[in-house]
Structure formats: C-alpha cells, structure tokens
Amino acid sequence: MRRFKLVVPAAMTLAAALPAVPAQAHAGPRPFGLGHCTATACHFDVPPGTYDVTVLLGGDSASSTSVGGETRRALLPETAAAPGARTVRGFTADVRTPEGEPTGPDGTAGLDLAIGGTAPALAGIRVVPARHPRQILLVGDSTVCDQPAEPYTGWGQQLPQYLRTGVSVANYADSGESTVTYLENPRLWATVQPLIRPGDLVLVQLAHNDKTTDEATYRANLETLVAGVREKGGRPVLVTPVVRRWFNSDGTLDNDIALLVNGLGVNHPAVIREVAAAEGVPLIDLTAKTKALVESLGVEGSKALYLYDEKRDNTHTSAYGATVYAGLVRDELRAQHLVPQGEVRMG
C-alpha cells in the first residue's frame, strides 16, 4: 500500500466507501452492497487498520467462492452454496503499509480483495472497522512471509483463512532474514515491537537464514525476541522451522540440510525447543510435524508441497504446501488453546 496522509476521520472514509444507509437505519447493521466490486475484485478506500469483512455468497446456480486479498493472502476458504441459496461468511483483514513484506514495496492503498473459487458468486459485501480485534503477528523469513509473486507462498500467507471474524493475522515475516538481521534492521523488529498490544500472539519462526550464527548468539537473539514481546504485554510463541525437502537414500530426512543444522553445527530446532522450555513459552514444533508429513508422502509425493517441479526448490512451499503447513499451525493454535476454538475455522 502507498503511504498517504490521512486527512479525514476513518469513519468518514468508510462512509464514503460503503453503500449509503438510510437515516432511520443508522442503529442497525449496514446493508450488503457491491458498489465497490467487479465480478472478480473489490476495492475499499480505507486507511491502514483492521477491518471486519462480511460476504454474502451464492447465486442462481451452484457456486463455490473463495476470497483472497492484499498481497496474495488467503482470507476465506472456498465455500459452496446450493443453487438459489445464500451463505454468509466473515473474516478480519489487516490493512498496512507496506502491504506485504516489511522491507518490500508499499503496494496499493486501501483494502483490495480478490474473488475466486471454482464457481465464484459474490452477492454482497460489508466492510467495517474491527472492534477490539485479536491480533496474531508473525515474525519470520521467506517460508512464512506474504510472498509477492507466484509460485512462491509462505505459510503465514495462508493462515488467515483458518481464522474467523475477530482475529487478524499481521504478517511481518520478511524474505532472507535471520535472527541477527531481523533484530538489526530498523524496518523489522524496531518497527514491529511497538505494534504489539497486550494479549497479542506473536509467532516467531527464524532459522533458515541463520547459517553463520553461532549457538550462543542464536539463543540470545531468541531470548531477546521473547523478552521484547513480553515487554509489550504480548504472548510469544516459538515456532521451529519447516523442514527442507532433502532426503537421505533411505527415504528419511535425518540430515543437517533438511533439519536446519547450520555449518557451525547449531541445531536450530533443538535450540528453539530449549529456549521455549526455559522461558515457559508455547512451542509449535513445525519441524517435527513437517518432517513427519514429508516422510510419509515420500520422495515423489512430497514434491507438491514445495516448488520442486517449478523451480527445483526444496525449501520454499507451493500454494498447496503453504496451505497444508498453515493448517498444521492452525491445529496447534487450537490444540494449545492459544486461540479460542470458536475462532478457528476447521473446514
């Protein structure tokens, strides 16, 4: 999103962006409208912030509709509606500048939504500022971030579709970052930490680029991030890195490349587990979960999770793989009661 100077209150901006409401209806919910949509996209000229979006899906024929937005984020999974039926669904969207990666381009101003699915049918839409939203902030690298261009997709990019209205995902992961660079770059941690509000979850997955970081420094950096989240009243969650698809001859991933052991012998997942235990921080062991999944699929079956066919890339995930891995994160958020079960979308 482009940076721009806000010269009118947010309420006035929204009033201009949404369909007019009759004077006698001001106390009730705003109506659905399509004045800011085409068949495949919607644009709302709103300032940075957090917005609840409610969509009315369905048409005369059977339909199946998904909603994405901003920098290729998956916001609502594909939802079916019978012929003539209407289905109401909702989600909470984060609108920020820069729109995607913190060190990337600003993007376009406002909230942009893409209407997709195998048979899309958008019958109405309503956008309002979110009231008391819960926020999940993501700190990570290219395997997590809002990737700007296909076929690359981070798991953080796919996570919003698994959460219901009232919970937003603010993805501040950035390509190429290590614990060292994330803490040093003023556009990263120094910018993200002030945004943390009391009660916010902050998921940290940094390891892939700590290739030359010694163990003491890596451990200290994780502790610094944990302390920084707690300083703002947030709830830190440490996440071990997704595995690289790098098989041994026996079909296992028990090797340093796959399991993120760097050239200095630093076992990143092991250190993350130790810091989580020592600091009393929730742990999402994505290394163990992705290892089990990749090994179960085997050499051929696991290719679809990564960009092997497209780029011979065994580190970065496809849209399919990112969706599957985001589902693993969703499962842990729910199982560990980090997000109320009613706010997690299981379908």
How do beta strands 63-69 and 306-307 pair? unpaired
Q: What was the pLDDT predicted at 315? A: 98
Tokens of 206: 């940094």
Q: What was the pLDDT predicted at 15? A: 33
**Percentage of residues in the chain having pLDDT higher than 90:** 88
Q: What was the pLDDT predicted at 210? A: 98
Over residues 209-242, the pLDDT tens digits come to: 999 999 999 999 999 999 999 999 999 999 999 9
Residue 18, pLDDT > 70, answer no
Q: How far is residue 99's CA from residue 113's CA, in Å, rounded to a whole number?
A: 13
Q: By three-state DSSP, how is residue 49 classified?
A: strand
Q: What was the pLDDT predicted at 321? A: 98
Q: What was the pLDDT predicted at 347? A: 67
Q: What was the pLDDT predicted at 346? A: 84
What number is the average pLDDT over the span 72-95? 97
Residues 6 or more apart whose CB falls under 8 angstroms from that of 201 comprise 134, 135, 136, 137, 234, 235, 237, 333, 338, 339
Q: How far is residue 230's CA from residue 200's CA, in Å, rounded to a whole number?
A: 10
What number is the average pLDDT over the span 31-47? 92
Whether the CA torsion 100, 101, 105, 109 is positive or negative: it is: positive
Question: By the 8 A CB rule, do 49 and 129 touch?
Answer: yes
Partners of residue 81 on adjacent β-strands: 63
Q: What was the pLDDT predicted at 31? A: 72
DSSP string, 235-258: EEEEEPPPPP----TTS---STTT
Q: How far is residue 45's CA from residue 13's CA, in Å, rounded to a whole number?
A: 7
What number is the average pLDDT over the span 260-268? 98
Residues 6 or more apart whose CB falls under 8 angstroms from that of 278 comprise none
Q: How far is residue 322's CA from residue 315's CA, in Å, rounded to a whole number?
A: 11
Arithmetic mean of pLDDT over the chain: 91
Tokens of 129: 């500022």
Partners of residue 41 on adjacent β-strands: 114
Tokens of 269: 């997942």
What number is the average pLDDT over the span 131-149? 97
Tokens of 316: 């970065």
